[in-house]
Amino acid sequence: MGKIGLFDLEKHFSFYGAYHSNPINILIHIIFVWPIFFTAQVILYFTPALIECHFPCRMGLIPNIGFVVALIYSMFYICLDKKVGTLAAFLCFVCWVFGGLIAKNLGFSMAWKVVLVVQMLCWTGQFIGHGVFEKRAPTLLDNVLQPMLMAPFFVVLEVLWLGFGYEPFLGFHAKVKNNIDAEIKSFKEKKTM
């Protein structure tokens, strides 16, 4: 059964889907969304530790802002859907762990350059996906929080849906498709006015 309010997965996925209906744009997002999250974790490694630690810090596992971001994303994702959320939460912590290890080995002077290049490449790819293939501005221009917080989760959900037919609840994708079709129709009508 669907949830309401902040945890209304059907509403969130319908909004996201209305901006991501072109198959090439979807593929671009599948390729580029998680590297954005990962490289953010690389640069967040350099934020100060929030608590003093010993052994984990020597391994690069610093309880810093990157950890807090991974924790918030993970908890939110699990609240949206336990199965997909657990997988997405696992990926968040994989990004935090390996992002920290890479950052520790690169050092700040090299890490920020790598992060900058990857972020620019990934964001450019997504804007091209929207401008060339979707022919609609990204959700970022209508709702900053939704794409920043939800995009990694939606990529996992989309892969599980397209690859394995996963539905958070029976009839989820049929309802979402109807919502997406209605939103796209409304957008096109407004655009022709």
Residue 34: is its pLDDT beyond 70?
yes
Is pLDDT larger for residue 50 or for residue 24?
24
Average pLDDT in the chain: 90
Domain ranges of the chain: 25-177
Question: Out of 5-14, 95-104, 142-151, 168-177, which region has the weakest mean confidence (pLDDT)?
Answer: 142-151
pLDDT of residue 144: 74
Say if residues 66 and 100 touch (Cβ distance below 8 Å): yes
Residue 2: predicted pLDDT: 54
Q: Pick the more confident residue, 89 or 181.
A: 89
Confidence band for 56, pLDDT divided at 50, 70 and 90: low
Residues 95-111 have pLDDT tens digits of 999 999 999 999 999 99
Better-predicted residue by pLDDT, 141 or 106? 106
Which contacts qualify for 172-181: CB closer than 8 Å, 24 or more apart? Answer: 172/2, 172/9, 172/10, 175/10, 175/14, 176/10, 176/13, 176/14, 176/17, 177/17, 179/10, 179/11, 179/14, 179/17, 179/18, 180/14, 180/17, 180/18, 180/21
